[in-house]
Structure 1
């Protein structure tokens, strides 16, 4: 399995359980590993045969700025479903969402790992 990695995608959004978190944008940082087979992309040297990571970043940014859940877990799942739906070459996903300043520690967040087959029952092929 080949991988694209994205580290440190920054998005400002409203997210949180507490009232004080829901009155202003908060920073989030995303780290992703996107698994796919790069054989066709390597042979053609054309983005149509690859996962367009700029489009991945746009999808994440759009969802994170428009969807305002209480939990990072809900945001992570919504993004994962969208990525598997919109990017048919994507086979595996590891995504960490960091929420700096949420609590007084160096780093806090969630990490999920998903495979395309996890969503087969939902109609994502």
Structure 2
């Protein structure tokens, strides 16, 4: 049996305002390889932050998922209603994916030690 990778997924909620929410899913290495459009290593400075934003559709590939595998340090992700965001930490070894392409989006902040991660752009939305 092929190993699976546990992924925390930031997606749009079912409610009309589509606030972002956290869910869990799994992905096999083979499925990840099949869906991958591009891969790049990112090194982010400590405490760098990004306000509410969406995991936008790709101009050429349409709906995509942004998969990030943390290799060093980590980052916070904030989901939910904009005036009551919930904080989630993702440290070394964590995988987090984003496909919240509607609603208010999510926010993020790099941890105090910075963050190195493998960023993959995947075809379609994970569920």
Please say which structure displays the higher CA radius of gyration.
Answer: 1
Length-normalised TM-score, structure 2: 0.26
Length-normalised TM-score, structure 1: 0.27
